[in-house]
Amino acid sequence: DSGVTQTPKHLITATGQRVTLRCSPRSGDLSVYWYQQSLDQGLQFLIQYYNGEERAKGNILERFSAQQFPDLHSELNLSSLELGDSALYFCASSVGDTVNTEAFFGQGTRLTVV
């Protein structure tokens, strides 16, 4: 158990809908990262927050947004869902905001868009 909690574990929704994925980081970790894992794109970095502020942005679509709340949990919002958004979405957390601090990954949320 990495200490990073993601909910829900599985999500099935229809095209055009909007969903929210939630991540609770390890106690004491200030950084939260979101990754998307799909068969065709592999593991792609989406976005990083550190202590409530956006710190780095990757290949995140405009239909997707994220935020980190004062209690440090984070949410990833996916809207106008398309079939291609079906993927495993991972959250990771770390103490620091730099890549050389170890990131601990949650078990992921598997999103299926039908």
Partner 1 sequence: AQSVTQPDIHITVSEGASLELRCNYSYGATPYLFWYVQSPGQGLQLLLKYFSGDTLVQGIKGFEAEFKRSQSSFNLRKPSVHWSDAAEYFCAVGARGNEKLTFGTGTRLTIIP
Which parts of this chain interact with partner 1 (CB under 8 A)?
2, 4, 33, 42-45, 48, 55-56, 58, 90, 92, 97-100, 102-108
Comparing CB distances to partner 1, the nearer of 14 and 28 is 28
Q: Taking a C-beta distance cutoff of 8 angstroms, is the pair 103, 93 a contact? A: yes
The distance of closest approach from Cβ of residue 37 to partner 1 in the complex, given in angstroms and rounded to an integer, is: 9
Comparing CB distances to partner 1, the nearer of 16 and 102 is 102
Closest CA to 44 of 54, 53, 57: 57
Supply 27's token pair.
């106690």
23/53 Cα distance (integer angstroms): 15
The distance of closest approach from Cβ of residue 2 to partner 1 in the complex, given in angstroms and rounded to an integer, is: 6
Comparing CB distances to partner 1, the nearer of 16 and 58 is 58
Q: Taking a C-beta distance cutoff of 8 angstroms, is the pair 114, 15 a contact? A: yes
